[in-house]
């Protein structure tokens, strides 16, 4: 694996994405300033932009152009951003910092952070409906996917299980279900939105689904390993917090070494799901990177 290759690609793609994304946050009405500022603050707060990368790479994998998938990338990142804003609220995780910066409600107040999250979620669907390069049928397919994978039977369902499991000793099946929904659903959504933008068929959607599902689990297991073993200065956030909070993780059920093997197994499944297609190198490298990263 050429770590530099994928890291460079992620970095270049993130820059390209930021430019497109920023254009959606130029609201001008002075009366709405505090909430539109709060939306922009959280939306443009950086991050690896892995979901947009997956959307656009899947579009390219099936012969589409990024100009067709970028609006879907932006819509999906709106949903991801809203979920972070609401997750950080005092009644949820009560976090003061995200990526080293004050969380949205710390800067704008709880009520405006709540509204900014609501507005971003709503905006996601507006962005899809107004996407220029997509047919109505592709747009409706995208709305269907995004709404089902981010709602009660998707991401919100995962947050529900997560909150319900606090302080309880859940089994590994429930833990996998939790992660398949909480983080996995949007990663699957990313892969499938890319396929829709490319106008590809059911087989392609199925491959994307398998890739996203496996990649999400590889990502989560690696996160659990990093929380237990990483160097705090390298990771850029406190380590050992899972153990401290008595949180059930994959390491509750296996050793670090076993977990690493399991993460690699899922990364292999992701790779295999797209192995048949030409030009799948970047997405293959992403699946390897997800497990080998140190932050």
Contact positions vs a copy of itself (CB under 8 A): 27, 29, 31-32, 34-36, 39, 82, 86, 89-92, 109-112, 114-115, 117-119, 121-123, 125-126, 128-130, 136-137, 139-140, 143-144, 146-148, 150-153, 156-157, 159-161, 163-164, 174, 177
Q: Which is nearer to a copy of itself, 114 or 214 (CB)?
A: 114
Q: How far is the CB of 154 from a copy of itself (least distance, A)?
A: 8
Most distant CA atoms of the chain, gap in Å = 55
**DSSP per residue, 113-146:** HHHHHHHHHHHHHHHHHT-TTS-HHHHHHHHHHH
Q: How far is the CB of 49 from a copy of itself (least distance, A)?
A: 22
Q: How far is the CB of 181 from a copy of itself (least distance, A)?
A: 9
Q: Which is nearer to a copy of itself, 135 or 241 (CB)?
A: 135
Would you call 102 helix, strand, or coil by DSSP? strand
Q: Which is nearer to a copy of itself, 117 or 194 (CB)?
A: 117
Q: How far is the CB of 26 from a copy of itself (least distance, A)?
A: 12
Query: What letter does residue 64 receive in the DSSP assignment?
Result: -
Listed in sequence order, the residues at least 6 apart from 182 whose beta carbon sits closer than 8 Å to its beta carbon are: 155, 158, 159, 161, 162
Listed in sequence order, the residues at least 6 apart from 50 whose beta carbon sits closer than 8 Å to its beta carbon are: 10, 187, 190, 286
Q: How far is the CB of 258 from a copy of itself (least distance, A)?
A: 26
Rounded distance, CA 17 to CA 73, Å?
8
Output the six-digit token pair for 23.
């254009």
Q: Which is nearer to a copy of itself, 160 or 281 (CB)?
A: 160
Q: Which is nearer to a copy of itself, 20 or 156 (CB)?
A: 156
Listed in sequence order, the residues at least 6 apart from 92 whose beta carbon sits closer than 8 Å to its beta carbon are: 86, 159, 163
């Amino acid at each position: 694996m050429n770590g530099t290759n994928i890291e460079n690609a992620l970095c270049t793609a993130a820059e390209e994405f930021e430019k497109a994304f920023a254009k959606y946050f130029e609201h001008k009405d002075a009366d709405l300033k505090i909430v539109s500022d709060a939306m922009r603050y959280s939306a443009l707060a950086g991050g690896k932009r892995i979901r947009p990368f997956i959307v656009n790479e899947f579009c390219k994998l099936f012969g589409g152009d990024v100009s067709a998938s970028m609006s879907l990338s932006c819509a999906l990142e709106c949903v991801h951003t809203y979920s972070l804003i609401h997750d950080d609220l005092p009644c949820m995780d009560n976090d003061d910092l995200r990526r080293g910066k004050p969380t949205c409600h710390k800067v704008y107040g709880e009520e405006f952070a709540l509204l900014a999250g609501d507005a971003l979620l709503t905006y996601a669907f507006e962005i899809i409906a107004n996407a220029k390069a997509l047919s109505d049928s592709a747009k409706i397919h995208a709305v269907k996917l995004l709404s089902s994978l981010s709602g009660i039977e998707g991401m919100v369902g995962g947050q529900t299980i997560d909150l319900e499991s606090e302080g309880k000793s859940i089994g590994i099946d429930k833990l996998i279900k939790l992660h398949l929904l909480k983080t996995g659903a949007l990663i699957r959504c990313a892969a499938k939105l890319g396929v829709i933008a490319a106008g590809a068929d059911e087989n392609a959607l199925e491959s994307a689904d398998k890739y996203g599902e496996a990649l999400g689990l590889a990502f989560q297991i690696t996160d659990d390993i990093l929380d237990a073993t990483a160097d705090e200065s390298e990771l850029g956030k406190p380590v050992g917090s899972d153990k401290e909070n008595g949180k059930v993780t994959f390491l509750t059920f296996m050793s670090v070494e076993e977990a690493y093997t399991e993460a690699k197994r899922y990364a292999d499944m992701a790779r295999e799901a797209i192995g048949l297609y030409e030009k799948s190198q970047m997405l293959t490298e992403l699946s390897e990177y997800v497990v080998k990263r140190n932050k």
